[in-house]
Amino acid sequence: MQSDPALTVSATTVRFGGLTALDDVSLAVRPGTVHGVIGPNGAGKTTLFNVICGFVRPVRGEVLWRGESLRHHRTHDLARLGITRTVQGLGLFAGATVLDNVLVGAHRHRGSSALGTLLGLRGAVRDERRLTERALGVLDELDIARWRDALPGALPYGVRKRVALARALVAEPELLLLDEPASGLSEVEVEELVVLLRGLTDRTAVLLVEHHVDMVMRVCDHITVLDFGRVIADGPPEQVRADERVTEAYLGTAG
Ligand SMILES: Nc1ncnc2c1ncn2[C@@H]1O[C@H](COP(=O)(O)OP(=O)(O)OP(=O)(O)O)[C@@H](O)[C@H]1O
């Protein structure tokens, strides 16, 4: 039996002036799965990601999180709701160490204020220590703990991407949104990412928007394919791969 979806995007339409970027798009992300969204350039992938994050408001439709409408949510509400994300630009703080960048993501679990920590209040200090231990645990898990005191700018791109992922994971999300997690990675790093993402499914659902179709086919349990803002295929990888509309959509834009 299939579990109830964690996230549902329901009959969602987005327009930018006269352009329909998403046209009646629906999808359901189930707990414990990796769900991919693919499609040719301009298909609406980023717009869909932005609707889920609350950056873009649809003219029709809604996003449901555990059955509750996210109609009025703002981006900064997401972590509190159990949803974290990485973005294409990574968004790391250049002047902060890797560890401090990751700690920024842990604030959902901070029981006391930063002022309390500064004043040396016992509960706040204990809280801070607990979060630091958790952040170090995630750095260790992603095999980047040796760079904990480095500044992001000094690190290779693949490591910086892992730092951004660590920051999203430390909040212990129930849904992890990844915007092009494979972009800019070497083939070896993409392989490592596939293993890493598969290892997350016992604790969070993952929704990723990605250009790297081959990686998506290998890592995902379920794939939604967009073309010109519409869903043209939705199902497990083998079904999507065999779908003629998907082949046509990609061949139609090649070259
Ligand atoms: N802020 C905006 N204003 C106007 N048009 C936009 C805006 N954002 C996206 N679009 C248009 O909406 C359509 C969908 O764009 P979107 O970026 O969501 O596609 P995509 O699948 O992410 O593309 P890519 O793979 O190239 O990143 C495109 O035609 C794009 O030009």
Picking from 171, 199, 228, the residue at the C-terminal end of a domain is 171
Nearest in space to 21 (alpha carbons), one of 36, 39, 43: 43
Compute the distance from residue 19 Cα to the ligand 1 centre, in Å.
9
Asked whether residue 88 is domain-assigned, the answer is: no
Whether 39 is in the pocket of ligand 1, judged by its Cβ within 6 Å, is yes
- Specify the residue with its C-alpha closest to ligand 1, atom 23: 42
Q: 190-226, pLDDT tens digit by residue?
A: 999 999 999 999 999 999 999 999 999 999 999 999 9
Q: Do the beta carbons of residue 131 and residue 172 sit within 8 Å?
A: no
- CA–CA distance, 176 with 41 (Å, rounded to integer): 23
45 shares a domain with 105: no
Compute the distance from residue 46 Cα to the ligand 1 centre, in Å.
7
Q: Is the predicted ipTM greater than 0.95, yes or no?
A: yes
- CA–CA distance, 127 with 49 (Å, rounded to integer): 33
User: Residue 124's domain spans which residues?
Assistant: 93-171
Whether 88 is in the pocket of ligand 1, judged by its Cβ within 6 Å, is no
- Specify the residue with its C-alpha closest to ligand 1, atom 30: 42
75 shares a domain with 20: yes
249 shares a domain with 216: yes
- Specify the residue with its C-alpha closest to ligand 1, atom 3: 16
114 shares a domain with 158: yes
Q: 34-49, pLDDT tens digit by residue?
A: 999 999 999 999 999 9
Considering the chain, what percentage of its residues have pLDDT values greater than 90? Answer: 67
Beta-bridged to residue 12, according to DSSP, are 25
Q: For the chain, how many structural domains are there in total?
A: 2
pLDDT reported for residue 180: 93
pLDDT reported for residue 254: 45
Give me the residues of the chain with pLDDT under 50, please: 254-255
pLDDT reported for residue 219: 96
pTM comes to: 0.89
Compute the distance from residue 22 Cα to the ligand 1 centre, in Å.
9
* Residue 126 CB coordination number (10 Å): 13
Beta-bridged to residue 224, according to DSSP, are 37, 234
